[in-house]
Structure 1
């Protein structure tokens, strides 16, 4: 309506200007030229302002300028035009004689009023403003005649009545014209509304068509197979990927259940039933199954089923998206096979290590045991040298075997730290006592200096700490020809005493600066000459560093070539409550008098090992019984009730673990059972303890270790009694 109003006003402006020119001509002939020009300028100036303000209405509407702003602009334009007409009429009224001016001015005001009323519906605010201006102008002119021009009252009243009569006679015409105009406007508006609704419907239809094209394009070009199914699970549409994968066209599968064309011998009926029930219940579902192509080739699919409902909430159809996961299933199968192979390899490796440990330690037990027995015999100097050489060589070989087994366990993560509460100083003294003979053989001073604030009872793996110290101190003694090996023990954190720092300083050959970092690598020594001169596998320090790191610390080294080296060992060994009893220390119980009158049963299938144990125990005041397998050991326990049993793990008929479990089930007095085995893994120790054994000795066993184990066993059994 606003646009229509502005267009009509611009279109009718020429006619209005012509009327103003005619009025100016009348003034020219009835008054003078200057008065005519003033009147014409006032009228045309108002019209020009109106045209200027209305010139961009259409453009502003297209730019979506806010409608209230445009309405204000149109109101200002209408007021300007009305003021121009009012000025024109005022000049005409005051410049013409009374008789001629009144009808002429009344005609212009009536024309302006009629025009305003006709266009009232387009912009009510603007039109009411114009009507107000015209009404005020008419009243002002009558007042002007009455008081300024001093016309007779009767004349003014007659003119006013004539004005009202003319206005009244114009009302039917104006009313008729307004009705026609409003009808036309309403028709136009209805047409616009219908056109707008139609345009919106067309736009919505176009959007739906575009959306349908997009969706169909997605479905058609999707790499996954897409199947549309009706509520009875029958196929109503498939995409190109389905045809490419299976070989079936739409005409071949439409109206069929998927099982009729896709399923075969390897398809899972339970999965099919799951999807069928999901469609009937209108719920989503997911699963995997084996489908078949038209030629009978199987392939794995992952199916995601989604229901589609209509506007009333009824199930309209279901959409199944099938993704080919054949390669994924193949990789899963390969990974499962690889995992199984790795587990089998790990079990094989563990079994191999256990077998190697057992098979090597069994003959080593014979060699070391017999050499110990020979060393106690009355031999000549030359024969004693032979025996000592055998002992030293066998001990070196045993060290190598232990290093290789420990390194293998470290590599595959099987070596574990088993912390217990133990007496730290006793552990250090034991290591010193063990290493002192080696130092004395080379006339080296071996010293131990412990800090005053060193805790007594600490928490850690004392066995692994001994192993680290023996490796590092043994290396220091090996590579030192003269001087000393000094061990100092301190704590890094004096408040918590958690970090134990052990420094091993020697006066040996030293290590070149470029080789220090490589000393802790596996199979590494200072150089090839060192290997030939001193021997060894180069695993001791590598194992010690890894053990230290497992215990929350590390090993570092500094050295001066030809002067000596210093190895610093750090491990976490926090102090514990003094009331906690430390783990049993077998070597601290040398009271062999407690063995007198006791009965010891040896369960051992290897004749050499039986002979060695018999010789090791021949001087003890005990009764020694022999069993060659686990079954015989159980029977002798039942009949003889021994105090201590030396139980081998690997025996025919019944192994040591099964025999121990059978003995522990007997209602009689229980013996102290000591595992005596060539199986040296931690898992073997744990298996023995779980079976019911009390302690653990590994082959090859030394006489001292055997004596201490028996003494501890008799003492603990007496304490239990």
Structure 2
């Protein structure tokens, strides 16, 4: 603008006016350039962007105004001759302003307004100066219109071009951004896939990828290690090639069915190694689906559980061996019980019969010694059997109402002769708050007390043995604390923890001196724990011993029927029972026992039929119709259980009244008693038995009311 207008201005108005126009134009341009250089990058402006747009719009207007001033000054000096040049300069400014419309809309518009205003002013002034009817003015007006139209076309084209270019750049930027995001996602997916592939490749479990038909498409290294097949040997083959002769067909079919139904499935199955040996694997199969729900692959993770199966089989074998051992021990104990009790019947029964004869004092002493030794041996046998049942958890604890005071006093009465024989004071201390009735197992309670009291008397030479009972009543329960205190030899503190172990005594020298099996305390602890209580001990050498038994038993109703207390056998009646007119069938294969039964029943008036096997017993039963049967369990040809069953069958066929059948058995286990009752027997007499046991059982079975401790035929025991 300066280079074009300065010579013209110099020609028209001289140096001073040319310099004025040049300074005005250059000053406006310089101001605009300076301000624009301060805001060259919008991205660094931030919150100042509105201010920068306003300021640069103002400087753009000043720059256009300075140029318009120079153009107007040139037109004025030229007296209208320079109007074409002035108009061209204005239109050039308009085109120049239009080129930056997309970059700075405000600056472009204000420049167009200024230049258009300048051109309009020049044209209006020319019309006013000349006659409006001059055709040249009309042509000039049309020329200006065409120029404006051309300017509009050019500006519109530039604007559209810039707009398309801007949109294209924005679209390119958006595509580039999306492409960058896609590439980042692809890279992340690639990294994830690579990590997963590394995990699967180096996993310790076999990973097998198959298609929906079960054809293998990929396996990891663990597959080769477990199966022996390489990647090349496995890929392309159906996964069922791993099955073999020992593979369970049903398991394989279930696995294939789950694959066909595209369901997750887990199973243990036998695969086969490349060399043919079986492999136990835990298969966890999972189908993989795409976003549309279509099956893509099936992934099977197979873990080698061969060692676990071997351990499982070893445990099963150990369990079987242990069960066989327990069964063998039970059978051994049952056999030994039978074999020992059978001759013990002869020993105890014979001594009892001898004591009923006329003996001198020396003979009576010897016979009573034999009887006492037999009782001791029988007690040892019973302890071993009780301990065996307790260890196996087969000993049941009853819950019946009983009087605790009578139970405690009965235990004291039973051991009183033992204390008197050693000159010991035997005391019992019962609290006034002791309930009249509690719910529990009186027999087991008595057994524990007899063990503890007998143990205390055995290991006490001088002094006393005391049973002290403490009670606390709370919420319908009776908390009992039983103290059995003695002044005996005592126990070393280091050995207190072992005295409740089976076959263990505190001191071997003392054990040899006082005797015993070492089972009494072990049985007591098992019994107390079976009743829900606990037992402990406190002692020191030379100061005596105290055993503590803590139990919690429900308090019974006062009007409840009290179960029979443990009876003192010495108090039972000893007279002979009158069984005149009663026919007794005795099936017993042991001649000693037969002789004892005959002697024990002699004088009762009963008629006796003897037989040595079950077959003859059945024939005699059918022929003579006895009033009662004494049936041994172990007999030749036909045992007692089978014979009893046939007798009951014969009774049912004839419609007669059932004859009482009492078992004679040396088997003392509860299951043996259950078998007897289940076979149809009415009661059991356990060998060895005494005369009073035999007579009580017979009279009770015949419903002869003579013994207050035997009132129910279904619970006959001796």
Smaller-chain TM-score range?
A: 0.7 to 0.9
- Equivalent residue, structure 2, for 1:603: 587
Q: 1:574 aligns with which of 545, 554, 562?
A: 554
- Equivalent residue, structure 2, for 1:183: 164
**Offset at 1:246?**
4.3
Query: Could you say if the C-alpha distance between residues 306 and 465 of structure 1 is closer, same or farther in structure 2, counting changes exceeding 3 Å?
Result: same
What does the per-residue CA deviation read over 1:543-577, in whole Å, with 9 as the maximum and x for residues that have no partner? Answer: 21221122111223445765644433223332333
Say which SS state the counterpart of residue 158 (structure 2) adopts: helix
Give yes or no for the alignment of 1:486 onto 2:470.
Answer: no
Query: Quick check: 176-185 or 570-579, which moved more?
Result: 570-579
The alignment's TM-score, normalised by the length of structure 2, stands at: 0.77
Query: Could you say if the C-alpha distance between residues 614 and 456 of structure 1 is closer, same or farther in structure 2, counting changes exceeding 3 Å?
Result: farther
Q: Equivalents in 1 of 2:458, 2:188: separation in Å?
A: 90
- Equivalent residue, structure 2, for 1:353: 333
**8 Å contact kept, 1:549–1:571:** no
- Equivalent residue, structure 2, for 1:83: 58
Q: Equivalents in 1 of 2:19, 2:187: separation in Å?
A: 68
The alignment's TM-score, normalised by the length of structure 1, stands at: 0.76
Q: Equivalents in 2 of 1:622, 1:653: separation in Å?
A: 27
Q: Equivalents in 1 of 2:334, 2:86: separation in Å?
A: 131
Q: Equivalents in 1 of 2:405, 2:682: separation in Å?
A: 25
- Equivalent residue, structure 1, for 2:641: 657
Q: Equivalents in 2 of 1:39, 1:654: separation in Å?
A: 140
Q: Equivalents in 2 of 1:89, 1:101: separation in Å?
A: 18
- Mapping of 1:60-209 within 5 angstroms? 73-86=48-61, 118-121=99-102, 127=104, 130=107, 170-192=151-173, 195=176
**Offset at 1:222?**
4.3
Say which SS state the counterpart of residue 552 (structure 1) adopts: coil
Q: Equivalents in 1 of 2:35, 2:237: separation in Å?
A: 82
**Offset at 1:647?**
3.6
Q: Equivalents in 1 of 2:494, 2:509: separation in Å?
A: 16
Give yes or no for the alignment of 1:378 onto 2:358.
Answer: yes
Query: Could you say if the C-alpha distance between residues 662 and 397 of structure 1 is closer, same or farther in structure 2, counting changes exceeding 3 Å?
Result: same
Q: 1:685 aligns with which of 673, 685, 700?
A: 673
**8 Å contact kept, 1:234–1:255:** yes
**Offset at 1:399?**
2.6
What does the per-residue CA deviation read over 1:625-676, in whole Å, with 9 as the maximum and x for residues that have no partner? Answer: 4343344444444444445444433333333333444444433323444443
Q: 2:321 aligns with which of 305, 323, 341?
A: 341
- Equivalent residue, structure 2, for 1:702: 690
- In structure 1, list runs of 5 or more residues that go unmatched: 1-14, 20-24, 58-69, 146-150
Q: 1:30 aligns with which of 15, 20, 34?
A: 20
Q: Equivalents in 2 of 1:26, 1:702: separation in Å?
A: 162
CA RMSD of superposed structures (Å): 5.0
Query: Quick check: 229-238 or 568-577, which moved more?
Result: 229-238
What does the per-residue CA deviation read over 1:231-261, in whole Å, with 9 as the maximum and x for residues that have no partner? Answer: 55445555544445445456656655455x4
Query: Could you say if the C-alpha distance between residues 614 and 562 of structure 1 is closer, same or farther in structure 2, counting changes exceeding 3 Å?
Result: farther
Say which SS state the counterpart of residue 352 (structure 1) adopts: helix
**8 Å contact kept, 2:469–2:483:** yes
**8 Å contact kept, 2:490–2:540:** yes
- Equivalent residue, structure 1, for 2:133: none
Query: Could you say if the C-alpha distance between residues 687 and 114 of structure 1 is closer, same or farther in structure 2, counting changes exceeding 3 Å?
Result: farther
**8 Å contact kept, 1:49–1:81:** no
- Equivalent residue, structure 1, for 2:514: 534
Give yes or no for the alignment of 1:676 onto 2:664.
Answer: yes
Q: Equivalents in 1 of 2:436, 2:578: separation in Å?
A: 31
Say which SS state the counterpart of residue 554 (structure 2) adopts: coil
Q: Equivalents in 1 of 2:598, 2:486: separation in Å?
A: 42
**Offset at 1:212?**
5.3
- Equivalent residue, structure 2, for 1:461: 441
**Offset at 1:510?**
4.4
Query: Could you say if the C-alpha distance between residues 661 and 577 of structure 1 is closer, same or farther in structure 2, counting changes exceeding 3 Å?
Result: farther
Say which SS state the counterpart of residue 572 (structure 1) adopts: strand
Query: Could you say if the C-alpha distance between residues 372 and 429 of structure 1 is closer, same or farther in structure 2, counting changes exceeding 3 Å?
Result: farther
- Mapping of 1:322-721 within 5 angstroms? 322-493=302-473, 495-511=475-491, 516-559=496-539, 562=542, 564-583=544-563, 587=567, 590=572, 596-597=579-580, 598-665=582-649, 666-667=651-652, 668-715=656-703
**Offset at 1:466?**
1.7
**8 Å contact kept, 1:228–1:318:** yes
- Mapping of 1:212-251 within 5 angstroms? 213-214=194-195, 216-249=197-230
What does the per-residue CA deviation read over 1:18-71, in whole Å, with 9 as the maximum and x for residues that have no partner? Answer: x9xxxxx999942999x99996885455324413x63647xxxxxxxxxxxx5x
Q: Equivalents in 2 of 1:220, 1:439: separation in Å?
A: 82
**Offset at 1:538?**
2.6
**Offset at 1:218?**
4.7
**8 Å contact kept, 1:641–1:669:** no
**8 Å contact kept, 2:71–2:89:** no
Aligned residue pairs: how many? 675
Q: Equivalents in 2 of 1:187, 1:357: separation in Å?
A: 108
Q: Equivalents in 2 of 1:184, 1:283: separation in Å?
A: 56
**8 Å contact kept, 2:587–2:610:** yes
